[in-house]
Amino acid sequence: MAEEKDVVKTAAKPTIITVFNQKGGVGKTTTSVNLAVCLAALGKRTVLVDLDSQSNATTNVGVMPPISTGAYQLVTGKVPFEDCLKKTSYENLRLVGGSDELAWADIELALQPECQAVLGKALETVPDNVDVVVIDCPPAPGIVSVNALVAADMVVMPVMPSPHALDGLHKAWWNVNRVRSSYNHDLHSIYILLTMTEDSELTNKLSEDIIAEFGHRVMPVLVPRDNVVIEAAARDLPVASMAPQSAPARAYLRLAELLMNRASHMGGEATGINREQGAETLAVWAVGNEGRRSNLAIPEPGDMPDPGWTEAPELAQPVAGGNLGWKIGAGIGLILLGAVLGFAAASAWFAFPPG
């Protein structure tokens, strides 16, 4: 009787989706947040990684800074992935939050060997209970963004159909393909998402030009320009969980469905994907978010202001020693910057001495 061999089942690797465009104002963070929320609503155990020092993706899912352990520690290889995770109010969605420290991450990564692969190595320790990782990149093609592209299985490039954004798309496309040819040879799923679209002759012409040039790379989803997106951002809410019946929310839910179908390498529906169930889940979350006040709302006279508001008379008050404090702060900042640049120069000299 032949001996039975033990079959070792390996855990499925999570799908890593990087949302990238080096031009700001094209809906990159809005896409990252709403894609992550919609994936969670579809039942996918999702992690949103906020690599932007502005941390808008972090606050948009209801997590307020400061973040003591998050994306900065992850991308610089200081802390394991699981130690960076934070819960959100959305079932199936966790967060690796952004922080101001990310502004310095490019400098720190530049001093490390194989600096482009640090995040990819960190993501090798993603626990088995994660299906999808969505990465929100900073709006710049620096080392942090390169790390996110090197680690990616899929790249989504949001672009609004405008002349300047189209020029930015060509540059971003060139950078993504440079990363693919140099470091991530398995990256074939690179997609373009048209955002902030509207029914105008110019928009339609630019959209047609993008589709004609990039073909099947353009996702068959249009995210329309809608003030509900601005209102949702002002409330620190994803539009998908504030107004799930709105056109932008439906577009992002469809995007999540399409990406999971393509990730499954199947011609039909991906296992576990049910858009109707996802829409129902988003509707339940929307009920829980009702009444959440906009952070941009000015308090009515006599009302207690929300935290963060300062009355106008206080802004006009002179602060004793204010000029001295500013000068001391600026001096300390210059000293620290000089120390960092000096360390970098010394490291380069020892690595590559003249002659």
Read off the pLDDT of residues 51-71 as tens digits, 9 standing for 90 and up: 999 999 999 999 998 889 999
With CA atoms as reference, report the closest residue to 292 among 26, 107, 61.
Answer: 61
Q: Determine, yes or no, domain membership for 314.
A: no
- Which two tokens mark 201? 């002759």
The enclosing domain of 57 has a CATH number of: 3.40.50.300
Domain end position, chosen among 289, 304, 336? 289
Q: Specify whether the CB–CB gap between 48 and 33 falls below 8 A.
A: yes
Asked if the model's pLDDT at residue 309 lies above 90, the reply is no
Same domain, 222 and 340: no
Mention every residue, 6+ apart, whose C-beta is less than 8 A from residue 195: 26, 27, 30, 31, 158, 159, 160, 223
Number of compact structural domains in the chain: 2
Per-residue pLDDT, averaged over 264-273, amounts to 54
Same domain, 30 and 109: yes
Same domain for 328 and 200: no
Q: Which of 125, 115, 121, 129 is nearest to 46 (CA)?
A: 129
Instruction: Examine the domain organization and report whether 207 and 345 are in the same domain.
Output: no
Whether residue 148 is found in the same domain as residue 89: yes
- Does 111 lie in the same domain as 51? yes
Tokens representing residue 119 in the block:
């995040």
Q: Which of 13-17, 265-269, 286-290, 314-318 has the highest mean predicted lDDT (pLDDT)? A: 13-17
Confidence of residue 11 (pLDDT cuts 50, 70, 90): low
242 plus 98 within the same structural domain: yes
Domain presence at residue 128: yes
Asked if 55 and 99 touch (Cβ cutoff 8 Å), the reply is yes
Share of the chain above pLDDT 70, in %: 77
Between the alpha carbon of residue 279 and those of residues 91, 100, 129, 193, 227, the distances in Å are 14, 34, 23, 21, 21
- Is there a domain that residue 310 lies in? no
Enclosing domain of residue 333: 321-351
**Joined tokens for residue 298:** 């000015």
Mean pLDDT (the chain, rounded): 84
pTM: 0.79
Strand partners, 191: 156
Alpha carbon distance 178, 184 (integer Å): 9
Same domain, 196 and 343: no
Q: With respect to residue 295, please indicate whether it lies within any of the assigned structural domains.
A: no
Query: Is 226 inside any structural domain?
Result: yes
- 335 and 252 fall within a common domain: no
Q: Do 269 and 343 belong to one domain?
A: no
Q: Where among 241, 272, 289 does a domain terminate?
A: 289
- Tell me the per-residue pLDDT of 113-151, one tens digit each, with 9 for 90 and over: 999 999 999 999 899 999 999 999 998 889 999 999 999
**pLDDT over 80 (residue 291):** no
268 and 336 in a single domain? The answer is no
Classify residue 312: in a domain, yes or no.
no
User: Are 151 and 120 within 8 A, CB to CB?
Assistant: yes
Q: In degrees rounded to 5, what are phi and psi of residue 6? A: -70, 135
How does pLDDT run across 335-346, given as a tens digit for each residue?
A: 666 665 666 555
Q: Does a structural domain hold residue 311? A: no
Is pLDDT of 304 > 90? no
Q: Are residues 81 and 187 in the same domain?
A: yes
Average confidence (pLDDT) over 252-266: 88
Residue 110 maps to a domain: yes
